[in-house]
Structure 1
Amino acid sequence: MKRNSLRWIFNCHRWFPTKDDLLIALSCIQEEERNRIFNFVYKKDVKLALIGQLMLRRCVSDCLDIHYDQVSFRRTDKAADSIDKIGVDISKVKQSNQQSTDEYFKTMERIFSPQEWKLIKSQDPMTINQSPLHRFHRFWALKESFVKAKAIGIGYELRRIQFNCPTINVPINQIVNDTLVNHDGLLSNNWMFEESLIDGNHFISVALSADDLTCFRQQSTNNFFQFVQFNQLINPNVHVVVTDDFWVKYNNKEEGRHV
């Protein structure tokens, strides 16, 4: 079975929409989504939700050959792919301002198994290309993508999930898909993880589950994430249907903290 996937990245942190940008973007999406998005307190969350909606609309329009204006969505709590389960997480490599790396690791001790901590903290020559903090965020992205795919919930004990990574370092802008997962001590053969390192500081893990992963594993090495720009996501011919009130509401919000 041929699998078609789109992997897009948009840098919301560096996107500061003009009034025209915002009104055009809001006019591209459904009214109920506009209202939902503007319930967010911070600008950053408005931008994230808005771009997410535009990505979905452009993806469906392009892949299914449906006119942009004819796309209509209903909301569920699941991600979208052609296989049984999928979960996606991105983890930014960052140093705490208040704590040293060792102190930070201490506060997160219960998250990882002893075997995972051994690799995270390893001084082996095979691991020197990436720091312990890099390896920490790689494992974090893996665990978060897995629990999202399984819809386990935020209270789940993450140490019950243990990853074995034959590829020690994830190369920048390449796909690693040989990572294995043990859940409650049992190897789960029906899971595959597509790992990427974007710009050297953002680990992305896509967790995929299906009865037969053979064809997906063969194709996954080409599923690179691509950066897209705002003008690629909108309908340039859209008729603006929202008022300036949205621009006023947006400017009255604080930016919010980016992580």
Structure 2
Amino acid sequence: MSNKGVRWAFNLSKWEPSHADMLLATSCVQVEEKERLGKFVFKNDFKASLIGRLLMRKYVNETTGLKYDEIRFGRDEKGKPFLINSPSHISYNVSHQGGYTVLAGCGTGGLLGVDVVKVQFPRGKTLNEYFRTMSRIFSGVEWEKIRSQGSETSQLAMFFRHWCLKESYLKAVGVGVTINLQDVCFKINSDVLSKDRLVDDTEVYFRGEKLDWEFQEMLLDEEHCVAVASESNTGEKILFKEIDFHEVMKNAVSLLDPDENYCTSFFNKCDKI
């Protein structure tokens, strides 16, 4: 078993699956996950979620040594996937939004969350109007940081960065929007993110008390930022590595028979605009 952490990013915009790709990929997930995927209306959402399931299976296989086709995932009462038959304690989390699906994994256990966000201007609203509709998400301190940025583009980037951080933490602790989001307050100490360097000096406070959590942030490209929240500081500084479909499917083993009709239904779905 490997204790080394991983950070994978799959660029969905670069993957236009062939019929053979989809036959193989959809045969490598459990039947209940296949049923969930089939309910998506748009191709984009289907692809993003499918890759997420395959990344989890790849990670568990490579980290624990469990045979690919013997890995079994379940879902807890909140719908979060978990590994049923693991002999070891590992942590992993997936996220997808915009043009990416990402996975963060840690072989030493502890709470772990990841979130990826696409930075984009709201449709049909000015930035001020949009910020007003989202006012309850952030604390006064966070809004002050967002508003202190010079241009609207910079304010929007800082807004989504806070959003990404908050989601990564909430996913790790598993509470979602059941708490007052303003109680979780981030202090960003390094304003600039880049694609080739991790920022790890961001702090988080809960109702004014500083928490002992580590956050690692970076850009995947000019439009997407990613954040990993970790309860246990392993000392590892890991940049996200972009992997393609061939790498995702390396060592994959089919769990189900190829389903021609199911794949045809995918190609008949609409693209999300």
Q: TM-score, normalised by structure 2?
A: 0.80
1:228: how far off?
A: 0.7
Structure 2 equivalent of residue 132 of structure 1:
155
Q: 2:121 aligns with which of 84, 95, 102?
A: 95
Name the count of aligned residue pairs. Answer: 244
Cα distance in 2 for partners of 1:34, 1:106 equals: 39
Q: 1:191 aligns with which of 191, 196, 213?
A: 213
1:238: how far off?
A: 5.3
Does the 8 Å CA contact 2:58/2:252 hold for their aligned counterparts?
no
Structure 1 equivalent of residue 142 of structure 2:
116
Paired amino acid for 1:40: F
Q: Which protein is bigger by CA-based radius of gyration? A: 1
**RMSD across aligned positions (CA):** 2.4
1:237: how far off?
A: 8.0
Structure 2 equivalent of residue 232 of structure 1:
247
Percent same amino acid among aligned pairs?
33
Q: 2:112 aligns with which of 72, 79, 86?
A: 86
Structure 1 equivalent of residue 185 of structure 2:
162
Does the 8 Å CA contact 2:43/2:266 hold for their aligned counterparts?
yes
Structure 2 equivalent of residue 254 of structure 1:
270
* Pairs within 5 Å for 1:64-79: 64-76=64-76, 77=80
Cα distance in 1 for partners of 2:25, 2:62 equals: 17
Cα distance in 1 for partners of 2:209, 2:251 equals: 51
Alpha carbons of structure 1 residues 237 and 142: separation in structure 2 relative to 1, 3 Å: closer
More relative contact order in 1 or in 2 (CA 8 Å, sep 6+)? Answer: 1
Q: Structure 1: state its 5+ residue gaps.
A: none
Alpha carbons of structure 1 residues 150 and 61: separation in structure 2 relative to 1, 3 Å: closer
Does the 8 Å CA contact 2:169/2:229 hold for their aligned counterparts?
yes
Q: TM-score, normalised by structure 1?
A: 0.84
More strand by share: 2
